[in-house]
């Protein structure tokens, strides 16, 4: 299954990156006289209301979704891991302060908080990234805090401390490298979730805006046509499902491979 | 971090099942529900065969609106979605007939105007009683209109020409006007023209002061079946067995849901389907469809304070009018000027032209265009409106080719309007339809100088145009040929010289109704209204 996930993901990433060469039409090439054409050799996935080629837009949409996923996970991990490491290694009042702030963020339902932020800000791809990242970092903070707290008590960390190595250096050189595995697994598991949340925000009109190709937005634009022009909503919908599925399978596989307690003995 | 797995299930369901599509258009004023109206050319397809569920309807006419049914119960100030219910509970002196293009008797049986159009006399119908039991007299009618004028809400401005009202005898109502105006048309307005018993008005919707064929049965704000009406037994027109004596409003936001309910016979009338579902409805058994040109057109109002005339003209040329109308698949026809066909002042042969070369040439004159500075324009439009979104997509794409970036923002009507009143955008997209069947409303509301912006969202300030607009009601009342010329002149000044707006299309109302409903005629002067008394079920 892990291989399937990796293969599927590689395919999606490659197809998205190669969109300028693979897509038969530019993502925003409108042709109202060809509006809502069903799938055909000219338009593999059919066309939307403005006559845009859905296959091309699905390919370009992958770029937007992957960009959002990378930006959200990158920024969340950076903030979350930095705070978590600090809290876990320092302990005491600093840990309490950081963790209580984290708890406050965790107390809100994540999608609701994202929606609230997205409503306040203008609906753009950047808004989506900020809104999701704002709800995502606390998970990494909590995860890395607990791992860092455990690693901090290891003998090699004690040894470094006794040798007078400054605390920031200990965290960067010894604690961080030994705490990263669970964070990496979590990142791969979360990528699918981020893409789904971004799609949900765009679907609600709070994210990417036309003419940007974004899968959630494309689903939203086609929803009233589902019973008459099924292709408008189906293909971007399938792209969301497949990408989220690929990330989840890959993440699950990585977790099994990297976690010794989950290793299956044959 | 497990919550997103639920989300995955949601998206899968969303993709594979079939949710629906909201064709929500702003509730209030102009961006009034998209809807549909119908009237003359109605191409009606009947695919007979009443469904069993419809037979079980027991003569309840079920209307499926996509927005709240009632926002204001006061017939004086009501100015929104409730027109559909109000037009069946309340009556006016006259009613506009879209086929004859004239006002016809309703509570007034006949009327006369003086030669200068300033003195009007209306003879009231005998034997009319309000739902409160009070008989209709000229004195009550006078009180009602005076109350509407005094409250000055909603469309009360329609009575602006009135100087005094008198009731010389119980069935005669006379008006003296400050300036000539077509008062028979004014009195047929869908808003603010109702004659009512002021004692019957209740903001809670528990009673009404109307004289119409229906009266309030139950009103439950926020419920799916928000409102039910029942026949008023004392109605002056009497009742026939085949008429609907009960009416229900079942709020159905999603167009796909409304379509399913119609097919199953659970609703009798869906005011708006999307063009694709409408096409499907045309070939579906148990359903009939009606398609009628409306008085509602789509406008792009260009900020005349911020944008140069050349840029505004370039924008007019950058709209792919024919492509847009083709993609609307029957839901609209190309406009010719500001005034839709069927109204005095309509100017055929003034259809706008899509010409990107011309647009680029005009932009270049101001230093923009492919080799010039990039121009960034902000645009606001109604959230959830697929037709407006389509226009925005086409315009954005066309302008991108000439180095113009459009930052389009879909907004709720109230937010869009608030921002517009503060001059906060370059292009404002909205629908407009008249309060009564007269083109004056477009000019008076949208292109007349305003101290504080209300609907003049192009912020046009032109004294000559103001003067011409001020003279329109009098001309309409006394000399229709001159009035027509004045309308043509105004449109030339506003669209050609000032380039304050672009008008891509006039909406075509596309209704779907149960095959058992007989006698339905759409009247574009009353958007979305079904006069339930006029339809029957065998």
**Contact with chain B for residue A122, Cβ under 8 A:** yes
B266 confidence band (pLDDT: 50, 70, 90) = very high
**Contact with chain B for residue A115, Cβ under 8 A:** no
Q: Taking CB atoms and an 8 Å limit, are B397 and A28 in contact across chains?
A: yes
Assess if residue A178 is contained within a domain.
Answer: yes
- Residues in A closer than 8 angstroms to B318, CB to CB, are none
Phi first, then psi, for residue B291 (nearest 5°) are -125, 125
Q: What is the pLDDT of residue B200?
A: 95
Cβ contacts below 8 Å, chain A against chain B, sum to 142
Contacts of residue B4, Cβ cutoff 8 Å, sequence gap at least 6: A190, A192, A193, A194, A196, A197
- Residues in B closer than 8 angstroms to A192, CB to CB, are 4, 8
Contacts of residue B9, Cβ cutoff 8 Å, sequence gap at least 6: none
Contacts of residue B221, Cβ cutoff 8 Å, sequence gap at least 6: B68, B70, B205
Q: What is the pLDDT of residue B478?
A: 86
Least confident of A252-256, B468-472, B507-511, B520-524: A252-256
Residue that wins the pLDDT comparison between B172 and B477: B172
Which domain range does residue A216 map to? 2-28+40-262
Residue that wins the pLDDT comparison between A204 and B180: B180
Contacts of residue B3, Cβ cutoff 8 Å, sequence gap at least 6: A109, A110, A111, A193
Residue with tokens 């119409």, as numbered in its chain: B212
Q: What is the pLDDT of residue B8?
A: 37
- Residues in A closer than 8 angstroms to B400, CB to CB, are 28, 211
Question: Over 60: is that where the pLDDT of B40 sits?
Answer: no
Closest CA to B410 of A259, A99, A207, A180: A207
Q: Where are the alpha helices (DSSP H) in B18-79?
A: 52-55
CA distance B429 to chain A (A): 16
Instruction: Look over chain B and give the mean of its residue pLDDT values, rounded to a whole number.
Output: 87
Nearest to B396 among A123, A199, A211 (CB): A211
Q: Per DSSP, what are the bridge partners of residue B469?
A: none
Residue of A nearest to B390 (CA): A50
Please state the three-class secondary structure of chain A as a single string: CHHHHHHHHHHHHHHHHCHHHHCCCCCCCCCHHHCCCCCCCCCCCCECCCCCEHHHHHHHHHHHHHHHHHHHHHHHHHHHHHHHHHHHHHCHHHHHHHHHHHHHHHHCCHHHHHHHHHHHCCCCHHHHHHHHHHHHHHHHHHHHHHHHHHHCCCHHHHHHHHCCCCHHHHHHHHHHHHHHHHHHHHHHHHHHHHHHHHHHHHHCCCCCCCCCCCHHHHHHHHHHHCCCCCHHHHHHHHHHHHHHHHHHHHHHHHHHHHCHHHCCCC
Eight-state DSSP code of residue B134: P
Nearest to A241 among B5, B15, B327 (CB): B15
Interface predicted TM-score (ipTM): 0.74
Distance CA A31, CA A135 (A): 39
- Residues in B closer than 8 angstroms to A227, CB to CB, are 18, 256, 259, 277, 280
CA distance B396 to chain A (A): 8
User: Once rounded to an integer, what is the mean pLDDT over residues B399-415?
Assistant: 88
Nearest to B320 among A28, A32, A36 (CB): A32
Assess if residue A105 is contained within a domain.
Answer: yes
Nearest to B276 among A29, A225, A238 (CB): A225
Q: Are A128 and A202 in contact, with CB atoms under 8 Å apart?
A: yes
Nearest to A193 among B1, B390, B397 (CB): B1
Assess if residue A206 is contained within a domain.
Answer: yes
Among B5, B6, B21, the residue to mutate for chain A (most A Cβ within 10 A): B21
Assess if residue A74 is contained within a domain.
Answer: yes
Tens digit of pLDDT for each residue in B64-102?
998 889 989 999 999 888 999 999 999 999 999 988 889
Question: Over 50: is that where the pLDDT of B32 sits?
Answer: no
Q: Taking CB atoms and an 8 Å limit, are B397 and A205 in contact across chains?
A: no
Assess if residue A59 is contained within a domain.
Answer: yes
How far CA B125 is from CA of A126, B147, B285, in Å, comes to 64, 21, 42
* Regions in chain A scoring below 70 on pLDDT: 1, 259-266
Measured in whole angstroms, how far is the alpha carbon of residue A106 from the centre of its chain?
18
Residue of A nearest to B396 (CA): A211
Tens digit of pLDDT for each residue in B268-312?
999 988 888 999 999 899 999 999 999 999 999 999 999 999 999
Q: Taking CB atoms and an 8 Å limit, are A200 and B15 in contact across chains?
A: no
B58 confidence band (pLDDT: 50, 70, 90) = low
CA distance B373 to chain A (A): 22
Residue of A nearest to B398 (CA): A30
Tell me how long chain A is: 266
Tokens of A260: 């010794």
CA distance B11 to chain A (A): 7
Q: Are B411 and B364 in contact, with CB atoms under 8 Å apart?
A: no
Q: Are B445 and B454 in contact, with CB atoms under 8 Å apart?
A: yes
Q: Taking CB atoms and an 8 Å limit, are A196 and B4 in contact across chains?
A: yes
Domain at A258, CATH number? 1.10.3720.10
Tens digit of pLDDT for each residue in B197-248?
999 999 999 999 999 999 999 999 889 999 999 999 999 999 999 999 999 9
Among A226, A232, A248, the residue to mutate for chain B (most B Cβ within 10 A): A226
Tokens of B292: 């009628």
Q: What is the pLDDT of residue B42?
A: 37
**Contact with chain B for residue A234, Cβ under 8 A:** yes
Distance CA B310, CA B364 (A): 9
Q: Taking CB atoms and an 8 Å limit, are B389 and A210 in contact across chains?
A: yes
Assess if residue A16 is contained within a domain.
Answer: yes
- Residues in A closer than 8 angstroms to B393, CB to CB, are 30, 49-50, 210-211
Nearest to A238 among B5, B15, B394 (CB): B15
Among A223, A229, A235, the residue to mutate for chain B (most B Cβ within 10 A): A223
Distance CA A170, CA A175 (A): 6
**Helix pair angle (A2-17, A231-258), 10° resolution:** 130
**Contact with chain B for residue A29, Cβ under 8 A:** yes
- The domain tally of chain A equals 1
Assess if residue A215 is contained within a domain.
Answer: yes
Could you tell me the domains of chain B?
294-507 (3.10.105.10)
- Residues in A closer than 8 angstroms to B390, CB to CB, are 32, 49-50
Q: CB neighbours (10 Å) of residue A119?
A: 14
Question: Over 70: is that where the pLDDT of B389 sits?
Answer: yes
Assess if residue A201 is contained within a domain.
Answer: yes
- Residues in B closer than 8 angstroms to A72, CB to CB, are none
């Amino acid at each position: 299954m892990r291989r399937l996930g990796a293969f599927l993901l590689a395919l999606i990433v490659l197809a998205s990156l190669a969109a300028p060469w693979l897509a038969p039409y530019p993502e925003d090439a409108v042709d109202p006289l060809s509006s809502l054409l069903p799938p055909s050799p000219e338009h593999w996935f059919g066309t939307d209301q403005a006559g845009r080629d859905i296959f091309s837009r699905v390919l370009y949409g992958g770029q937007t979704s992957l960009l959002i996923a990378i930006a959200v996970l990158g920024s969340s991990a950076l903030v979350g891991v930095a705070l978590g490491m600090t809290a876990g290694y320092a302990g005491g009042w600093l840990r309490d302060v950081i963790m209580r702030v984290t708890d406050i963020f965790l107390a809100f339902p994540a999608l609701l908080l994202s929606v609230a932020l997205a409503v306040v800000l203008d609906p753009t791809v950047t808004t989506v990234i900020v809104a999701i990242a704002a709800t995502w970092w606390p998970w990494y903070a909590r995860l890395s805090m607990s791992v860092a707290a455990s690693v901090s008590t290891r003998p090699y960390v004690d040894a470094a401390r006794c040798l007078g190595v400054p605390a920031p250096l200990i965290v960067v050189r010894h604690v961080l490298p030994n705490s990263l595995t669970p964070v990496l697994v979590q990142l791969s598991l979360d990528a699918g979730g981020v893409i789904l949340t971004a799609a949900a925000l765009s679907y609600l009109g709070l994210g990417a805006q036309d003419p940007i190709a974004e899968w959630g937005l494309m689903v939203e634009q086609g929803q009233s046509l589902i019973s008459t022009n099924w292709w408008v909503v189906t293909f971007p919908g399938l792209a969301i499902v497949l990408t989220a599925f690929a990330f989840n399978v890959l993440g699950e596989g990585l977790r099994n491979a990297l976690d010794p307690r989950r290793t299956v003995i044959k | 971090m497990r919550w997103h797995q639920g989300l995955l299930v949601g998206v899968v369901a969303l993709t594979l099942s079939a949710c629906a599509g909201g064709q929500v258009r702003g509730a209030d004023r102009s961006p009034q529900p998209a809807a549909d109206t119908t009237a003359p050319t109605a191409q009606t397809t009947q695919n007979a065969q009443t469904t069993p569920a419809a037979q079980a309807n027991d003569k309840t006419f079920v209307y499926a609106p996509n927005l709240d049914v009632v926002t204001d119960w006061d017939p004086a100030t009501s100015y929104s979605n409730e027109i559909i219910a109000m037009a069946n509970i309340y009556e006016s002196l006259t009613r506009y007939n879209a086929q004859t293009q004239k006002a016809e008797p309703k509570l007034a049986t006949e009327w006369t105007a003086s030669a200068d159009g300033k003195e009007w006399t209306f003879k009231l119908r005998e034997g009319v009683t309000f739902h409160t039991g009070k008989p209709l007299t000229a004195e009550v009618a006078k009180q009602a209109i005076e109350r509407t004028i005094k409250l000055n809400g909603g469309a009360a401005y329609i009575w602006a020409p009135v100087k005094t009202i008198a009731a010389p005898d119980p069935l005669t109502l006379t008006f003296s006007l400050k300036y000539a105006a077509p008062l028979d048309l004014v009195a047929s307005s869908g808003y603010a023209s109702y004659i009512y018993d002021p004692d019957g008005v209740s903001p809670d919707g528990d009673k009404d002061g109307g004289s119409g064929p229906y009266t309030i049965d139950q009103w439950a704000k926020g419920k799916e079946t928000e409102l039910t009406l029942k026949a008023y037994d004392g109605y002056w027109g009497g009742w026939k067995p085949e008429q609907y004596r009960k009416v229900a409003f079942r709020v159905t936001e999603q167009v796909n849901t409304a379509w399913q309910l119609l097919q199953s016979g659970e609703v009798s009338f869906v005011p708006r389907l999307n063009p694709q579902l409408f096409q499907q409805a045309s070939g579906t058994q148990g359903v009939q469809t009606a398609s009628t040109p409306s008085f509602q057109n789509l406008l792009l109002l260009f900020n005349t304070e911020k944008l140069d005339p050349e840029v505004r003209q370039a924008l007019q040329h950058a709209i792919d009018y024919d492509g847009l109308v083709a993609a609307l698949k029957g839901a609209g026809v190309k406009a010719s000027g500001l005034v839709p066909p069927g109204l005095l002042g309509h100017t055929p042969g003034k259809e706008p032209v899509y010409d990107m070369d011309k647009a680029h040439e005009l932009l270049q004159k101001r230093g923009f265009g492919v080799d010039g500075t990039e121009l960034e324009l902000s645009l606001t439009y109604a959230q959830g409106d697929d037709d407006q979104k389509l226009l925005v997509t086409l315009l954005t794409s066309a302008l991108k080719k000439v180095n113009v970036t459009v930052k389009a923002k879909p907004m709720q009507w109230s937010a869009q309007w608030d921002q517009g009143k503060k001059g906060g955008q370059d292009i404002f997209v909205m629908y407009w339809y008249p309060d009564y069947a007269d083109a004056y409303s477009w000019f008076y509301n949208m292109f007349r100088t305003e101290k504080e912006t209300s609907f003049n969202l192009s912020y046009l300030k032109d004294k000559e145009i103001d003067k011409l607009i001020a003279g329109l009601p009098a001309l309409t009342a006394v000399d229709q040929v001159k009035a027509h010329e004045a309308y043509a002149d105004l449109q030339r000044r506003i669209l050609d010289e000032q380039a304050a707006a672009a008008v891509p299309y006039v909406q075509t109302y596309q209704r779907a109704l149960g095959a058992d409903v007989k006698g339905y005629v759409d009247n574009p002067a009353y958007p979305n209204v079904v006069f339930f008394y006029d339809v029957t079920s065998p």
